[in-house]
Structure 1
Amino acid sequence: MSTSPSRRTARAVAALLAASLFLTACGGDEAGATLELSAALPDQVPSGTQLRIGDPSIQAVVQASGLDKELTGAGVRVEWANISGGPQSIQAFRADKLDCSAVADIPSLFAAWTGTSTKIVFQSVTVDPLKYPVYQLGVAPGVHVASLADLRGKKIAYSAGQAQGALVLRVLQKAGLTRKDVTLVELTSTGDSYVTALGGKAVDVAPLGAQNVKIYQAKYPGGGAVPTGIRDDASTLYCLTKSVQDAEKAAALKVYVGVRTKALLWQNEHPEEFAKAYYQDSQGLSPADAKQVVALSGRKGIPASWDNAVTRLQETADLLATEQDHEKLDVTTLVDRRFEKVQTAAAGSQVVTGDAA
């Protein structure tokens, strides 16, 4: 008995659909099943799951402390990348060469504004942020800046897509100055570019991290540095959204965030070991300078809640939207708060509460 053309067509379509579903399922197993952003983070990591992470200081701590064994023991394989800062990480994200990177708060905003979807999965703070600022204002040799008011008329290094750029805008705001009162010199802060610009007097003022202040003053003895008086301790780990949506990588990230929390707390308790492992062995500082940079950095803390960090991020986003003509942005879309509980669980009683958080 012959089969009608319509039935043959229906059977053929069904067979194709079944084959398609089978291939999709196989492909999903190879690439990692998709995890909804509202779903619970998986507990089991398929052995050998790889994370590509740019987190140089934590890499040094994890290896010096032996915490790398917790990663491998949980089935997580980290491919470390010598990448930090917004421009490098966003470029690597776009090339699909990186899953996560350690940055301040600004890169997540610029990633969103330039079409790269990311999620913040880690927040840390400085326990006494105004006493231990991340940045000071480096001052070129022969230039007088004793207070923020002295910034009027000065040439200031400025990088729109980095934390240093946002800090400059906040400093001007605090000083009662506008962009018209100074000359902002577009200059990406990579390596010692700000140090060189100050030493060569291409700019009068530039935000310098604690490490670079030491390098700058050693290289250019006539150079100075003044405090900003502004909280600047935002510190995050942000990841490609598609990496967080990969169930295997999400499970590995859950482990990594817990280990990263322990690494920061270990760093607090072992300042000399941290100074040697990162600033001396990795960054090339002398033993004395490495110890001094760590002492100037203060203790790091894990906030009991991300509420304050998200509020500060929104304030920064609003300022940059106004000053740099960006679209308004709801920063809650950039934060994956499932990892908040992972951090606090790993930190236990050592979480930071109150204004410092």
Structure 2
Amino acid sequence: MMSNKGMSRRSFLGLCGIAGLGTIAGLAGCGGSGGGATTTAASTAAASGSSYDPVTLRVAFMPNIGSAGTLYAGIEQGYFDAVGITVEPQQFQAGPTEIAAMSSGDIDVAMIGHGAHSLAIQGQAKIFSFEQLSKADEVVANKAKGINSAADLKGKTVGVSSGTSSEVILQYVLEKAGLTKDDITTVEMDVSGMTTALISGQIDAAATWSPNTVTLKQQLGDNYLMLGTDTDFSDKVAFPGSYCCAPDYADKNKEVLVRFAAALDKAKVYRAEHTDDVAKLLAAKLELPEETLLQSAGEGDWQGAVDAIGHTDVIEGYYKAQQKVFLDAGKIEAEVPVTDYVLTDVITDADKLYESELK
């Protein structure tokens, strides 16, 4: 695992007037590399005039705007360069596999969706940056399979990726229809596999997320049926996306995490103000259909992420609400103090560094 090669040449505490730093981070998915790194940390820091000690971070992401938007915006706009960080992006398909890769030392930090946060609560990762509240998850069905409402899922085959936020939405959709998972046949699949399987008729429905939902809508046409989404259950759930790292990495690299999270803050503002540009950037960098990315531009609360900068208490509230979802679903056995796994001091210090140095 890459680590910081010394403290910044500038005293971070002196810059921000902060008395102390802390602990927190998160978890994530699976997959191969994608996107490519830029130049070396030393050269980018020198080119940008940064006086921070250079460091390279291997960063896991998933191929959608909610997961990769700020990462690639920050790379493209030079926000990470400004704090002496070179990013080596690595593409995954789900959070739990990202966490496994962090644990084995293959990556340094990862952006994870809601489902993988249960692993952070259980001590496998520390969350150090709130990314956004997701609006990307959906339970979708093929009407040609005789499904016209959620009640019609009874006896049907549904593609699921366990441990993801879409699985939680499936549970709520079933509950609202008076069903349980015992009433359906679930098939464990990764998100790309269930997209293909639903289009080809191998499964009847899927618990999935954007931009795959855009592809499904295009391919199924009039047979596409959305049975439930994040926003339908916003009174019951909060689905934060977060950047996280392994606990031992957090202990040794707090100053680097603050710098990385501060650059993400600036990238959140860019994403909110230039969402279509970010969608086009990702399409080009990840070789995805541009129209698909543009149609999925509303998959997260981008402005809400900006508004949360400097309001760590609000962010803590999101994670408390998220824990209730896991408790209700039996994913965790007992409530855990948010500050046990969310590095609120890193979030606070990053916000202050953004405000004082990067804004």
TM superposition score category, shorter chain reference: 0.7 to 0.9
- Structure 2 CA distance for aligned equivalents of residues 164 and 273 of structure 1: 27
> Which letter maps to 1:175?
A
* Deviation of 1:87 (Å): 2.9
Q: Give percent identity, aligned residues only.
A: 18
Q: Which residue of 2 aligns with 1:25?
A: none
For the pair 1:235 / 2:265, whether they are aligned, the reply is no
- Structure 2 CA distance for aligned equivalents of residues 31 and 255 of structure 1: 13
Residue 78 and residue 296 in structure 1: after superposition, are their counterparts in 2 closer, same or farther (change >3 A)? closer
Residue 153 and residue 240 in structure 1: after superposition, are their counterparts in 2 closer, same or farther (change >3 A)? same
For the pair 1:109 / 2:121, whether they are aligned, the reply is no
Q: Does the 8 A contact of 2:194 with 2:206 survive in 1?
A: yes
Residue 157 and residue 293 in structure 1: after superposition, are their counterparts in 2 closer, same or farther (change >3 A)? same
Aligned residues: 297
* Deviation of 1:245 (Å): 0.2
- Structure 2 CA distance for aligned equivalents of residues 193 and 144 of structure 1: 22
Q: Which runs of 5+ in 1 are unaligned?
A: 1-27, 33-37, 349-357
- Structure 1 CA distance for aligned equivalents of residues 60 and 304 of structure 2: 20
For the pair 1:299 / 2:302, whether they are aligned, the reply is yes
> Which letter maps to 2:129?
F
- Structure 1 CA distance for aligned equivalents of residues 51 and 204 of structure 2: 51
Q: Does the 8 A contact of 2:143 with 2:225 survive in 1?
A: no
> Which letter maps to 1:50?
T
Q: Which residue of 2 aligns with 1:150?
A: 152
For the pair 1:94 / 2:98, whether they are aligned, the reply is no
Q: Which residue of 2 aligns with 1:289?
A: 292
| Of 77, 80, 84, the match for 1:65 | 77
Counting only pairs closer than 5 Å after superposition, residues 1-357 of structure 1 correspond to structure 2 as 40=21, 47-55=53-61, 56-72=68-84, 76-83=85-92, 85-110=94-119, 113=122, 117-126=124-133, 133-140=135-142, 142-189=144-191, 192-221=192-221, 223-226=223-226, 227-228=228-229, 229-231=232-234, 233-246=239-252, 249-286=253-290, 288-295=291-298, 297=300, 299-302=302-305, 303=308, 304=311, 305-321=314-330, 327-330=333-336, 332=338, 333-342=340-349, 344-345=351-352
The alignment's C-alpha RMSD in Å is 3.2
Residue 29 and residue 270 in structure 1: after superposition, are their counterparts in 2 closer, same or farther (change >3 A)? closer
Q: Does the 8 A contact of 1:122 with 1:236 survive in 2?
A: yes
Deviation string 1:99-156 (CA, Å, 9 cap, x unpaired) is: 211111221313565xx62111122334xx7xxx312222125034444333333322
Deviation string 1:274-314 (CA, Å, 9 cap, x unpaired) is: 1210134424113x333222146553423322232122221
Bigger Cα Rg: 1
TM-score (normalizing by structure 2): 0.72
* Deviation of 1:253 (Å): 0.8
Q: Does the 8 A contact of 1:310 with 1:331 survive in 2?
A: no
> Which letter maps to 2:72?
A
Residue 138 and residue 29 in structure 1: after superposition, are their counterparts in 2 closer, same or farther (change >3 A)? closer
TM-score (normalizing by structure 1): 0.72
Moved over 4 A (4+): 28-32, 295-298
Q: Which runs of 5+ in 2 are unaligned?
A: 8-18, 24-49, 62-67
Instruction: Please give the secondary structure, in 2, of the residue aligned with 1:235.
Output: strand
- Structure 2 CA distance for aligned equivalents of residues 159 and 29 of structure 1: 34
- Structure 1 CA distance for aligned equivalents of residues 156 and 271 of structure 2: 38
* Deviation of 1:61 (Å): 0.9
> Which letter maps to 1:268?
A
